[in-house]
Amino acid sequence: MISPTSTAQAPVFAVVIHEKGGAERRETFETTELTVGRVQGNELMLPKGNVSKRHARLLYRDGRFIVTDLNSTNGTYVNRRRITQATIVREGDRIYVGDFVLRIELPGGAADALVEAPPRAELLSSPDEVSTTGPSPVAQVASASLRPPSDEDEDAARAAGPARTLEPPPRSPSSATTSEPPLRAGGFPANETTGTHHVGRITQDDAPSYERNALTVSLNLVVQGAAERLGAETFEGPLGADLPERLEPILRELANKVASSREAPLSVAADRLVELARDELLELGPLGDLLADSAATEVGVVRFDQVVATRGGRTVAVEPGFSSERALGWAIRRLRAEALEGGTSLELRLGSGARASVDPGGSGRPASLLIRKTERLALTLDELVRRGVISRAMATFFRHCLLGRVNVLIVGGHDGSPEQLLSALVGSQTDARSVWVGDGVAPDTEVCIDFGLGTVAEARRALTVKSGIPGVRFAARLTTPEVTAAVTEMVASGVDGVLALRHATSIKRGLMRLAAEIAAARPGLGIRATRELLAGAYDVVVEVARLRDDRVRVLRVVELTGVSGEEITSQDIFTFIPDRTAAGGAVEGIFSASGNVPQVVEALRARGESLDSALFSRPPSR
C-alpha cells in the first residue's frame, strides 16, 4: 500500500475549484497529501451538504497524484466515473465532489514530469487482489496478528462475519470504474422515459467493491478483537463508566495492526478504524449519525453490512455498515434500552419521535431494522409558490379549501414531494388544533393518533372521540389498511377539514390502492361500495411529483365527481403542462386552469367564502 508517511518532494500545485452555478477559484498547495471535506480540519474545505465531512484524499507519490474516496456518502468521481479504489489523476482530469469540480494545475514543465513518471506496481490493481472464494486478503493477513492460534471455535468464526464471494470487475491501469456517470455531481441518474428518478438507487456502485468490502472486514477485525479482549458480555448490557478509558488503548493497538497490513485498502487509516469501532462498541454504530441527521428521514438495515438512508426523497447507501451481525445486535439492544414507554420489543418509540421496527432474525434469516422519522417541514403555500411547486392561482384555491374545511387527498411518490404539500397546507391553517393520524406519525410534542402503538381498537376510539371535538383538523398519512379504512369512514361520516396523504405514482393508482385497502379491512363492503365511499369522502385530490430535474411540481388538481362503472370519475381543475427541457436539464412548463369551475366552489360560497370563478378560466390558446 502507499504509506501516507513516505518521504517525497512536496510539489507546488494549484487546485481549480468550480462550484455548480458559481465562479472558479484557485487554491495553491505545497504538500504531498491533502484531504477534501465539508468541515474545518480539511486542507481543502468545500462547505456544501452533499460533501461528506471527510470526503476524499489527494496524495502525491512517486511523481503522480492519486485520489481516494474516503467512504463518502455521495462518492467521488474522476472524469464522470465513480472511483472505488485509489485512482491516478493527471493535469486536466476532472474530480467531482458533490456540487464541485476540481482540477489540478502544475507550473511550468512539472506536468510533463508527472506524466512520464512510472507507476508503482501496487497502484496497478489486478484481479488477484480480490478473493473469489473467501474473505478479503485483509482478513487473511491481519487476522494472524490479532487472533491467537487456538481461537478458531465456531463462535469466533461466526462473529467474523460471512465469507464474501466477489466477481472481480475488469480493471485497467487508470483504475477507471464502469459505473454510470452522474447527471450532476452528487446526484442520481434520471429515468428519461418517465421523468422520475430511480427509486431505491444507492450512491454506491451496484457491483461489489473490493475496497468497501475490505473496510468492513478490517473494521470487523478491530471490533471483534476488542470484544474478545474485554469479553463480549461487556457490550451487551449497560456499559461501565470506565469502559471508554479501558477500550481506547486496545482499539489503537488493533487498528494500527490492521491499517499497517500490506493488503489493507489505501483509504483505511488507523484513526478512521478507531472512530468506527468506538461507535459500534459504545454507541449505535452508523445509526447514531443517521438519527442525528435531520436530512435522513428513513433508515433501513437490510442486513448488518447493508445500511441505507433516505435523504431528500433519494435512497443512498451508507458505507460502511455494521461490521457483523453481533454489532447490529448491540445497536438494537441499545435502541430498546433507550425507547420510550408505549411500544413493544419489535415496535420501538424513540425519544426523537422516530419509530423503529425490528426483525430480530433467526432460522438463518439475518436481523433487519427500519427507522422512520417524523418529518415536519416548516413550509407555507407562499413558499411553494416561490419554489415553483404550485401557481399563485392554486395557492388561492388551496387557501379557500382550508377556510371552507374541504377534505383534500394528496397523492405522490416516496420522494418527499407529497410531504412538502401536506406540511404547507397544515402550516397555512389559521388555527393550530391539528391531530396527526397514521402509523408512526408525530413526536410527543404534537397531538397524534398512532395506529402502530397499542391496539387498532384503541386508535379508532381515540379517532372517534377527537373527531367530535369542534374545530379539530386532521392530517392523516394513509399508510396501512387500518388507517385508510378508519380515516375514510370518519370523513364519510361527515367530518370535514381533513388533509390526507397517500403514496402512489398517480391519482388513478392511488384511488385504486385505497379502494383495495378499504375492501381488505372491511370485507363486508363490496368493491363498488368502497369506491363510492372514497368518492364521497374526499372533495379534492392533488397529484404531486419530483421531476427529473429534481424540482417538485403539482401535476394535477382534480375534483372527484362520482363513480362510473369500475372507476371513480373526476374532472381536472388545474394541471401542469411541461413545455420544454432547458439547458442544464430543467423541465419548464406552465400551470394551467382547465376551465372547469369545481362543484366545491358552490359549497364554499354557501359557507361564506367568496371565490371568483375567473380563477378557473382556461388561458387563451397561443
The reported pLDDT for the residue numbered 190 is 32
* Positions in the chain short of pLDDT 70: 1-9, 21, 108-213, 262-268, 312-313, 374-377, 430-432, 440-446, 453-454, 583-584, 619-622
Q: Do residues 392 and 383 touch, judged by C-beta distance below 8 A?
A: no
- What are 562-596's pLDDT values in tens digits? 898 888 999 999 999 988 877 667 788 899 998 88
Asked if residue 437 lies in contact with residue 448, where contact means CB atoms within 8 angstroms, the answer is: yes
**Residue 188 grid cell:** 442520481
Cis ω before 523 (30° cut-off from 0): no
Predicted pLDDT at 499: 93
- Does residue 532 share a domain with residue 450? yes
Q: Which residues pair with 570 in a beta bridge?
A: 560
- Determine, yes or no, domain membership for 120: no
Report yes or no: 123 and 86 within 8 Å, Cβ to Cβ: yes
Write 238-245 long-range contacts (CB < 8 A, 24+): 238/337, 239/282, 243/282, 244/278, 244/282
Residues 241 and 356 in one domain: yes
CATH, residue 44: 2.60.200.20
Residue 329: its H or E element: helix 325-338
CATH number, domain of 233, equals: 3.30.450.90
Strands (E), 210-366: 296-303, 306-311, 314-318, 347-349, 355-359
- Pick from 274, 278, 282: nearest CA to 236: 282
Tally of domains within the chain: 3
Taken as a whole, the chain contains a residue count of 622
What DSSP state is assigned to residue 613?
G
Q: Choose among 208, 320, 236: nearest CA to 273.
A: 320
Angle at 452 between CA 538 and CA 328, to 5 degrees: 135
Segments of 432-566 assigned E as strands: 434-438, 448-450, 473-477, 498-503, 540-546, 552-564
Q: Is 395 helix (H, G, I), strand (E, B) or coil?
A: helix
Dihedrals phi, psi of 260, to nearest 5 degrees: -85, 0
Residue 559 inside a domain? The answer is yes
Question: What pLDDT does residue 390 have?
Answer: 94
Pairing label, strands 448-450, 434-438: parallel
Give domain status of residue 129, yes or no: no
Tell me: do 406 and 364 sit in the same domain: no
Residue 123 lies in a domain: no
Last residue of a domain, one of 347, 372, 397: 372
Rounded (5°) CA angle 94-99-104 = 25
Asked whether residue 142 is assigned to any structural domain, the reply reads no
Rg of the chain in Å (alpha carbons): 28
At 160-205, the pLDDT tens digits run 333 322 233 333 333 333 333 333 333 323 333 223 222 222 334 3
Do 358 and 427 lie in a common domain? Answer: no
For residues 569 and 451, membership in a common domain is answered with: yes
Domain that holds residue 366: 210-372
394 and 254 share one domain: no
Measured between alpha carbons, how far is 389 from 379 in angstroms, rounded to an integer?
Answer: 12
Answer with the one of 105, 130, 157 that is the final residue of a domain: 105
**Among the three residues 372, 391, 411, which one is the final residue of a domain in this structure?**
372
Asked if 591 contacts 390 with a C-beta cutoff of 8 angstroms, the reply is yes
- Residues 556, 442, single domain; the answer is yes
Distance CA 211, CA 263 (A): 10
Residue 363 belongs to a domain: yes
| pTM score above 0.75 | no
- Give yes or no: residues 306 and 385 share one domain: no
Answer whether residue 6 is part of any domain: no
Question: Strand order of the sheet with strand 296-303?
Answer: 314-318, 306-311, 296-303, 368-372, 355-359, 347-349
358 and 407 in a single domain? The answer is no
Question: The domain that contains 457 carries what CATH number?
Answer: 3.40.50.300
Minimal CA–CA distance to 195: which of 569, 581, 542? 581
Q: Same domain for 326 and 411?
A: no
One domain for residues 26 and 56: yes
In the numeric block, which cell numbers belong to residue 583?
A: 439547458
pLDDT tens by residue, 221-278: 999 999 999 998 899 888 888 999 999 999 999 988 888 875 555 556 788 889 999 9
> Same structural domain for residues 569 and 453?
yes
Asked if residue 307 is part of any domain, the answer here is: yes
